Structure 1
């Protein structure tokens, strides 16, 4: 079998890249080691920047997003109960949309007409410095796809980045000493916009998936076990970390999903190795505090799609040559913002009382400075691609 591009990974990054190439007439096969049902079962956040919304429209997959997505004109930040709303619309004239990553994935699956091969086992990348090909097993048989380029969109633990010789790759990482314990519940959200809360006991986030389904998080130690948290313990802890009015308005219920997500910052450099490109979580991880993970993946594959379309349509190598440096510039800005949000809103026991006073001073500066609020709004809603 032959394809112009083989995309490894059928998450939103791989599916978006495949769809953009498909619409441009570039042949692209997607390989995914899990089943389609498994991919759709992943529970992920979904705060979309304007650029990601525009990309869904470009992929002709945005109709349901516009019907069901929730426009947010701002977010609420609080510190020990003192609140400050960041009004995106008033500050910079932009907004974001809450639309779950699972729904983005579903819409891209439905839109895609080209070949996606699920349950492709033992995927291996070969000769990406010369004449690349990919092998995989399915049904007890080994299959081979020859191609011109390989796009690694298979996540942090995927085969694409692991296939790169260690000497060719530089990685940067910070692992945080805490995670987010998240609960999904079929109850109306406590507020119509997201609430980010700092408390001496730890961070909390009030988020949502729809007008009737809510997602809540509390900061827990990195080695915490989800089994230690009953629903009642979770709700009690969440209320403590919110201001009294919000805590009083909170509607609780039986969780329909409960999990702990570790937090890390990670970047790999460069992102091109001959005819192999890395994109999305294969290239970088950000803490979820700044809502950047999905959006960074989307901006990666938008740039990669344009580069590959130019190569096959115009025989130009300018885009593929510039890809790594171009997207890394945006990646590091998003890493900075996600680190800053994480540093402001979480508790770091090792910093002690001095660290908390610095965080309080940072919050007070933000609350009193229009320029600081504009900076937050600009970064949260998405820097230019």
Structure 2
């Protein structure tokens, strides 16, 4: 089989890249080791920057996100028992974020790809990338016991942190940067109305908490737990009791509890691999970088990566010039490291660290007090939260 771009991974990054390339008239094939149902079953974040919404519109898959997504003009920071609102819309000249679940983004992209009749190989086994240091790369895999080969011009590695794409790069060609945090997030998804119409980020002496939502009837809540905590130790009742004591009095009264639809613990890490290009292979999304979820940057960074990559490939095929492809890694990494910095800072500000004690808690509270009362500090938070714009090639 022959295509212009072979995309490894059918998560939102790979699917969005495929749709953007399709709109630009560039042929592409997606190879995914899991089933479509498995991909759809993964519970992930749901705060979309305007850049991501714009890319969904460019891919012509934004209709449901526009109709059903929840525009958010602010967030609330809770510390010392009181909430303080950060006016995202007012501090950023009218920008905002949209709450729309990553599962729904994936569902929309899958439907659009199927409607366009584009090739996606699910349940691909033994995926292997070959000759990406040349102008004739190929992807080999086995599906339903049949060996297949895709010859292509380029390979886009959108297959996540544990995928084959980054693992195929010689270790000597990679520079890895990583920070592992000493805690995780215990998260619960439940069909209950949100405690607030905007997200609440809570800093408490018992640890961090986040009140989020997927819709007006489905909520997503998190509490900070030790890194070695096990989800089996937490009943629904225990979770709701712990969340309740980390909230302010008004939120406690408004909190509606119910049976969990999903409960899991996510470890937190910051990770970057450099560079993002290796000949004909380009890394994007979680294959290239991981951020702690505090700043809601994971999906948005992945979307920005494939936005850059689709544009660079469009320029290459239209102008037969590699100049934009040559700049892909540098442009992405400039944005990635700014998002890494913001996510690290916001995580450090909002979480309880085991080695800082009461002094560390007081320092956090002092910084939060400065943050919510300083227009300059609030603006810096708002600008980073709604997302930095994409640079031009």
Provide the C-alpha distance between the structure 2 equivalents of 1:193 and 1:292, rounded to a whole number of angstroms.
17
Matched, 1:369 2:374: yes
Match of residue 129, structure 1, among 128, 133, 151: 133
Whole-angstrom distance in 1 between the partners of 2:321 and 2:103: 35
CA positional deviation for 1:169: 0.1
Match of 2:58 in 1: 58
Cα drift, residue 81 of structure 1: 1.3
Structure 2 counterpart SS, 1:350 = coil
Is the contact between residue 203 and residue 351 of structure 2 (CA under 8 Å) also seen in structure 1? yes
Residue number among 312, 315, 318 corresponding to 1:310 in the alignment: 315
- Asked if 1 retains the 8 angstrom alpha-carbon contact of 2:185 and 2:268, the reply is yes
Aligned length: 385
Distance 1:97 1:32 in 2: 28
Correspondent of 1:179 among 184, 187, 202: 184
CA–CA separation in structure 1 for the residues paired with 2:24 and 2:305: 17
- C-alpha distance in 1 between matches for 2:373 and 2:333: 32
Give the gaps of 5 or more residues in structure 1. none
The match for 2:212 is: 207
**Alignment match, 2:3:** 3
Scaled by the length of structure 2, what TM-score is found?
A: 0.97
- Which of 152, 157, 164 is matched with 1:147 structurally? 152
Spell out, residue by residue over 1:272-321, the C-alpha distance to the aligned partner (whole angstroms, 9 max, x if none): 00000000000000000000000000000000000111111210101100
User: Are 1:29 and 2:24 counterparts?
Assistant: no
* Whole-Å separation in 1 of the counterparts to 2:81 and 2:323: 51
Q: Tell me, what secondary structure is at the counterpart of 1:232?
A: helix
> Please, what TM-score do these two structures have when normalized by structure 1?
0.99
- Structure 2: give runs of 5+ residues left out of the alignment: none
Q: Is the 8 A contact 2:271 2:289 kept in 1?
A: yes
Aligned equivalents of 2:175 and 2:218: distance in 1?
A: 41
TM alignment of 1:328-347, pairs within 5 A: 328-347=333-352
Distance 1:69 1:91 in 2: 22
Measure how far apart 1:367 and its partner are: 1.6
Q: Aligned partners of 2:328 and 2:192: how far apart in 1?
A: 43
State the shift of 1:82 in Å. 2.2
Distance 1:302 1:95 in 2: 19
**What pairs with 1:100-249 in structure 2 (closer than 5 Å)?**
100-112=101-113, 113=116, 114-130=118-134, 131-249=136-254
RMSD of aligned Cα (Å): 0.7
Cα separation, 2, equivalents of 1:95 and 1:336 = 20
Moved more, 163-172 or 107-116: 107-116
